[in-house]
Amino acid sequence: MTLAGLSTGAVVVFLLIGAALVLFVSEVIPNDVTAIGVIAALVVLEPWTGVGARGAISGFANPATVTIVAMYMLSAGIQATGIVQRLGIYLADFTGGREFRALVATVCTTGPIAGFINNTPVVAVFIPMITDLAESTGISPSKLLLPLSYAAILGGTLTLIGTSTNILASDFARLLIPGRDGIGMFEFTSVGIVVMLVGLAYLLTVGRWLVPARIPVDSDAVTEFDLEDHLAVMRVRDESTAVGEPIEAFDAAHPEVRVLQVRRNGEAFSAPHTDRAIESGDALVVHGTLQAVNRFREATGLAHEIRSDVTEETFESAPTDDVLAKAVVPEDSRYVGETIAETGLSEFHRTATLAIRRGDELIRHDLAERTLQPGDLLLVRTTPASIRYFTDTRVLVVADEVAYDRLAAADVESIAPLSSKTPVMVAIMAGVIGVAALDLLPIVIAALAGVFAMIVTGCLRSADAYDAVSWNIIFLLAGVIPLGLAMEATGGAAAIAELLVATGAVLPIVAVLLLFYLVTGLLANVITPVATVVLMIPVAVDAAGRLGADGFTFLLVVMFAAATSFMTPVGYQTNLMVYGPGGYEFADFLRVGAPLQFLLAVVTTLAIWFVWGV
């Protein structure tokens, strides 16, 4: 097969891949929707792709897809034990207010945990812990959140179940390498340990100095979101039309401005969700643009207390039922693609959105019509009950509301109680790992059996199990798997492999391995790691065959490269989750992640070459 002699089918598949990559990178539509479009396109173009309806939907029945569904559910069961939450309290006690200890505690616990629990929910649980840990140690949360994400990514290389790309690579090993029945649970753990140790050493030394302190220590949320001109205190005068008006009705009558808090005789209560009426002398804390607040003042006869600046302390000095919090929109949130008005946050969850940070952009006006995107950081005024709802449903990841102060061991039980089912859940998870490691059952069956055991023993409700699955990732998997198989069947993978194999004429095979790592890693930082694995593994295995090398060695290099995406916030979901709470700029990921990416490219390639040869 030569590049000039590409079959028509290969050309069609390449065009389809090109279109999918453009959509993945631009995110004009969600990636999972793009994957659904790929399924439809493969069938419509069946005369050239060779993929019929049954083949196009084969990704849904693929063992890797089913295994990943089960692992999401098992991770939810472990999260429910309270073990991870309790660990956060012990970490705060261990640090003793020292920055380096806080960094050590963050990366050295997150990494190993992420080897056995899906790293995305691990980071979701750890973000508020680490944010409050930073506050208790007097350092910027930015110094800990990026290392948190990187450590979770590194931990995913420890075991087969550490990340979805590992499970997907295992299935490709079964399909493409004769005599292979997938990858063992701990088959590559020795290399994973080396990768994690080198990565953690980097984060504790070079990375420590490269990670910026974007958010000041003890930063005020109002200042952080530049809301000084969007919050004001209004005094109710005797002649004001507001006197005697129910707060909720008064707030609804003036949609440009929202009343957040009412102060009266040294007390405060939340607004607008209250049946209280406004009285003369009340102080109203309101949110709106400067122009809207001025129009509001003139229309209602209120007095603007110019010298009363609103800060975070303004809300905390007079406690109410509501709290000020920051929350991240995760990639799999059902709020993605909806406007804030459509989410019903205000109507159903008593949550007022005050500002949105989107990368380097701050959005503070016309918020109701803003469409939410993955990674958005919201500053909200909400309630503890709503926070519990957001946490349980994972529609938002609350970044800083819960304070994990250093506590005596006697207090831990009341703050982070362990579930009565904890021993059972831990035993079930250990059983799944043990059965799969001993090859008594395929990993997909072991994982499904574990989910069944958790549900029938009452450790996990079926509704919670389904809610725990990131269905957008599942649809992404199901869509790109047949695309990779079509590329292999039409000769497209062989054509790319031939191009890369040509470098073998001037480079030793170990250098070709390194080239595959670099190409895969760069691609994974731009599109999803899942899509990268699907596209690159068939190419790598084919190239290995042409070079007379071990296909499994090349497959492992691609697997590790795709699983370790450090250079962009969009390359890995955990990077996106810390992007907003850390106040990072896009360039921060490149500055900190690029040296780590290239360091691990060399270390991983040499480690795999040493263990498996070529």
Q: Mean pLDDT across the stretch 182-205? A: 95
Q: Where are the domains of the chain?
A: 228-309
Separation CA 577–CA 251 (nearest Å): 33
**Per-residue confidence (pLDDT) for residue 409, from 0 to 100:** 39
Q: Which amino acid is at 433?
A: I
Spell out the residues 6+ positions from residue 515 whose beta carbon is closer than 8 angstroms to its own: 500, 503, 507
Higher confidence at residue 185 or residue 421? 185
Pick the range with the lowest mean pLDDT from 70-74, 410-414, 451-455: 410-414
Residue-level pLDDT at 418: 67
Q: Is the per-residue pLDDT at 507 higher than 50?
A: yes
Contact call for residues 370 and 356 (beta carbons, < 8 A): yes
What pLDDT is recorded for position 84? 66
| 320, pLDDT greater than 80 | no
Tens digits of per-residue pLDDT, 116-162? 887 777 787 788 778 877 877 788 889 999 999 999 999 999 999 88
Say how far apart CA 508 and CA 77 lie, in whole Å.
47
Question: Which secondary structure element, helix H or strand E, spans residue 232, and what is its range?
Answer: strand 231-235
Distance, CA of 335 to CA of 25 (rounded, Å):
21
Q: What is the edge-to-edge ordering of all strands in the sheet holding 377-382? A: 361-363, 352-358, 377-382, 323-328, 397-398
pLDDT above 70 coverage of the chain, percent? 93
Distance of CA 597 to the CA centre of its chain: 19
Task: Please provide the average confidence, as pLDDT, over all residues in the chain.
Answer: 84
Q: Which long-range contacts (CB under 8 A, 24 or more apart) does 541-549 make?
A: 541/172, 541/176, 541/177, 542/488, 542/493, 542/494, 542/497, 543/497, 543/500, 543/501, 543/512, 543/516, 546/497, 546/498, 546/501, 547/501, 547/504, 547/509, 547/512, 549/509, 549/614
Which of 317-326, 366-375, 540-549, 556-565 is predicted most confidently?
Answer: 556-565
Residue 348 has pLDDT above 90, yes or no: no
User: Residue 346 pLDDT > 70, yes or no?
Assistant: yes
For range 210-228, the mean pLDDT? 83
pTM of the predicted model as reported, rounded to 2 decimal places: 0.82
Residues 387-436 have pLDDT tens digits of 888 877 888 988 875 433 333 334 445 455 666 788 888 899 889 888 88
Give the sheet arrangement for strand 231-235, strand by strand.
267-270, 258-264, 283-287, 231-235, 303-304
Banded pLDDT at 5 (limits 50, 70, 90):
low
Rounded mean pLDDT, 566-588: 87
If you compute the radius of gyration of the chain from its CA atoms, what whole number of angstroms results? 26
What is d(CA 390, CA 327) in angstroms, rounded to the nearest whole number? 9
| 3-state secondary structure string across 320-386 | CCCEEEEEECCCCCCCCCCEHHHHCHHHHHCCEEEEEEECCEEECCCHHHCECCCCCEEEEEECHHH
Task: State the pairing for strand pair 352-358/377-382.
Answer: antiparallel
pLDDT, residue 526, reads 78
CATH class of the domain defined by 228-309: alpha beta
Mean pLDDT along residues 569-589: 86
Residue 198: pLDDT band by 50, 70, 90 thresholds? very high
Return d(Cα 514, Cα 507) in angstroms, integer: 10
Q: Most distant CA pair in the chain: distance in Å?
A: 90
Q: What is the pLDDT of residue 96?
A: 62
